[in-house]
Amino acid sequence: MKTGRLRRLCLALTVPGLLFLIDPAPAQELQRIAAVVNDDIVSMRDLRSRVRMVIVTSRLPATPETANRLAPQILRGLIDEQLQFQEAKRQGQTVNEEEMQRARGDVEIRNGLKPGEFQAFVRRLGVDPSTVEQQLQASLLWAKLVRRRFGNDVAISEDEVQESLDRLRADEGKIQKRVSEILLPVDNPGEEADVQRLAGRLVEQLRAGARFGDVARQFSRAANASVGGDIGWVLPERLAPEIAAAIEALDVGQISEPIRTLFGYHIIRVADTNVLAGPDPMAERVTLKQIFLPVPPSAGDEGRAAQRSLAEAVAATAQDCADIDVLAEEVKSPVSPNLGEFSIGELAPALRGPVADLKTGDASAPIDLPNGVMVVMVCDRQAAPSNLPTAEAIRRQLESQRYEILAQRYLRDLRQNAFVEPRV
């Protein structure tokens, strides 16, 4: 469930030992309150630790200037986490150690680590493991809260799936692009300028070499943040006009300027491009068996007619590919019944049409060849590859979109009903 990873800022820690360059704060500074969230606080220690983690994992310049620019957005994220923790406590939602271990394991797998190396690796990067643990725990709790609250509201009907499939099939032959995004929401008008500045700063760093996926994991508030912001293959014309225009203008590897929509600021990257296409019938693979009845040149029309009659009898008798083996021996076919595996396009023109229309286990009508008559049977059929998504993939995508909308509303309601007082 992608929405279950709505705010998962899990590490994509592949940074080779970058040092955090901001001087440590004095003890009294760390004890200060960065924000009050209902009956809880976010401390300056919490904020500085998260800033350190974000800079390292996103490969941003480790300077005081960077930290100061990022701090407001990161503090908002910490406030949201605190609201999520509080809501989980009210709802009696917990995360067990097995779930936390799986989350740590995901980080290890993503970074090519051995099991159990999570904490040591995080420490090597100068990040406090408790900061990462808190982020992982908040993500897991939020996922469970959203699913429990909205699980009955996210059923996707067969008609919705079929409608999406029909639209895709109607678009075959059009250019699609593989797109990733970073979404920075604007939750109230007072945040507009800060979020816009952050979006511009991130674009600068991305164009200077910061990895898009790492930055998305740390900053994006979209459901796909945990997978580096990957949206997947899209047709630009199916998106909001402002997003579509930006995607159309981007070449592979390019980063857009920040794009303002109703949801906030989007940063878009195009990773690849291709043509939307269904399966090529000529690429379908079949395993064939045959019975070949030779017709010598001297046999004449009567000889060929006799062999055709025998072939018709064989075709009517054969019920499966095992029968082909037996019947080939009975009629003394001079060639092996195992014809082999081919794509439809690899077959001779005389066979291509008959085989393309055959169901598995059905024998063909007699096929005239220059030197005889043949009956073929399809023993196995493998569908040709297609870059159209499967029905199940479409269902998951629609579920994710629905969960995303509901989760954003849920968090918005928590913010509106909370007492929040930033103090920095």
The pLDDT of 112-120, averaged and rounded, is: 88
According to the model, what pLDDT value does residue 308 have? 94
CA 113 to chain centre: 22
d(CA 301, CA 299): 7
Name the percent of the chain in helix, strand, coil, to the closest 5: 55, 20, 30
98, 70, 78, 36: which is closest to 199 by C-alpha?
A: 70
- CATH number for the domain that contains residue 181: 3.10.50.40
According to the model, what pLDDT value does residue 13 have? 33
CB of 79 closer than 8 Å to CB of 70: no
pLDDT tens digits for range 149-208: 998 888 899 999 999 888 888 888 788 899 999 999 887 788 899 889 999 999 998 998
The pLDDT of 10-28, averaged and rounded, is: 40
Q: List strands edge to edge, sheet with 40-43.
A: 40-43, 33-37, 420-422
Q: List strands edge to edge, sheet with 372-382.
A: 338-343, 285-294, 372-382, 367-369
First to last CA, the chain: 35
Of 58-62, 152-156, 275-279, 408-412, minimum mean pLDDT range: 275-279
Question: Exposed, middle or buried: residue 60 (CB in 10 Å: 0-12, 13-18, 19+)?
Answer: buried
**Structural domain boundaries, residue 93:** 1-169+388-424
Do 3 and 136 belong to one domain? yes
Helix (H, G, I), strand (E, B) or coil at 404: helix
Q: For the whole prediction, is pTM greater than 0.75?
A: no
Do 56 and 86 belong to one domain? yes
Do 189 and 262 belong to one domain? yes
According to the model, what pLDDT value does residue 20 have? 34
The pLDDT of 380-391, averaged and rounded, is: 82
pLDDT tens digits for range 214-256: 889 888 888 778 778 888 888 888 888 999 999 999 999 999 9
More confident of the two residues 315 and 14 = 315
The most confident of 31-35, 185-189, 250-254, 279-283, by mean pLDDT:
250-254
Asked whether the predicted pLDDT for residue 94 surpasses 80, the reply is yes
Do 377 and 318 belong to one domain? yes
Average pLDDT, the chain: 85
Helix (H, G, I), strand (E, B) or coil at 116: coil
The pLDDT of 308-334, averaged and rounded, is: 94
Do 305 and 369 belong to one domain? yes
Do 128 and 192 belong to one domain? no
According to the model, what pLDDT value does residue 121 have? 85
Do 404 and 271 belong to one domain? no
Residues 6+ apart with CB under 8 A from 327: 291, 314, 317, 318
Going by their DSSP bridges, the two strands 264-275 and 33-37 should be labelled as: unpaired
The pLDDT of 280-287, averaged and rounded, is: 86
The pLDDT of 286-293, averaged and rounded, is: 95
Which DSSP symbol is given to 388? S
Residues paired with 122 in a beta bridge: none
CB of 47 closer than 8 Å to CB of 75: yes
From 278, 304, 335, the end of a domain falls on 278
From 278, 308, 338, the end of a domain falls on 278
d(CA 74, CA 198): 11
According to the model, what pLDDT value does residue 8 have? 31
According to the model, what pLDDT value does residue 11 have? 34
According to the model, what pLDDT value does residue 17 have? 30
More confident of the two residues 121 and 82 = 82
More confident of the two residues 401 and 258 = 258
CB of 279 closer than 8 Å to CB of 390: no
Which DSSP symbol is given to 370? T
Asked whether the predicted pLDDT for residue 132 surpasses 70, the reply is yes
Asked whether the predicted pLDDT for residue 7 surpasses 90, the reply is no
Give me the long-range contacts of 248-257 (CB less than 8 A, separation at least 24): 250/177, 255/203, 255/206, 255/207, 255/212, 256/203, 257/203
d(CA 321, CA 376): 10
Residue 286 phi/psi, 5-degree rounding, is -130, 145
pLDDT tens digits for range 293-307: 999 988 888 999 999
The most confident of 1-5, 65-69, 238-242, 286-290, by mean pLDDT:
286-290
According to the model, what pLDDT value does residue 84 have? 94
From 228, 260, 278, the end of a domain falls on 278
Do 121 and 18 belong to one domain? yes
Do 9 and 65 belong to one domain? yes
Residues paired with 41 in a beta bridge: 36
Question: For the residues of 170-226, what is the DSSP string, one character each?
Answer: HTTTSEEEEEEEEEEE--SGGGHHHHHHHHHHHHHHHHTT--HHHHHHHH--SGGGG
Do 252 and 188 belong to one domain? yes
Total structural domains within the chain: 3
Do 143 and 271 belong to one domain? no
Q: CA torsion, points 79, 228, 117, 81, in degrees to nearest 10?
A: 10
Do 270 and 305 belong to one domain? no
